[in-house]
Amino acid sequence: MTVEEMKKKKTELGFSCEQISDRSGVPLGTVQKIFSGITKRPRYDTICQLEKAFPMEHIIFTDNHGRDYKASGKVFVEKSKANTH
């Protein structure tokens, strides 16, 4: 997820910088600098930590009854929202 994508999600979800800091473990000052644009190129590991603050979509492969797709031979794709907090 890019910083721009995180900014969009932050707005969509109504998260404050404080909430993102709490959820990700990234210091508040760092979060504020990244989201305000002061920090132009945040470190990769910081971006990875920030991503933890946002719910992520996962794709689950199942048959049409929610069973493991390998058992039935039929594949349906369902989206699931996961939240680590």
Beta strands in 1-85 (DSSP E): 56-62, 76-82
- pLDDT reported for residue 76: 47
Q: For 36-55, b where at least 16 C-beta lie within 10 A, e where not — what string?
A: eeebeebeeebbebbeebbe
Q: Which two tokens stand for residue 43?
A: 């470190």
Asked if residue 66 lies in contact with residue 75, where contact means CB atoms within 8 angstroms, the answer is no
- pLDDT reported for residue 26: 98
pTM recorded for the entire structure: 0.66
Please, which pLDDT band fits residue 77 given cuts at 50, 70 and 90?
A: very low
Residue 34's contacts (CB-CB under 8 Å, 6 or more residues apart) are: 3, 42, 46, 50
- pLDDT reported for residue 21: 98
Please, which pLDDT band fits residue 16 given cuts at 50, 70 and 90?
A: very high
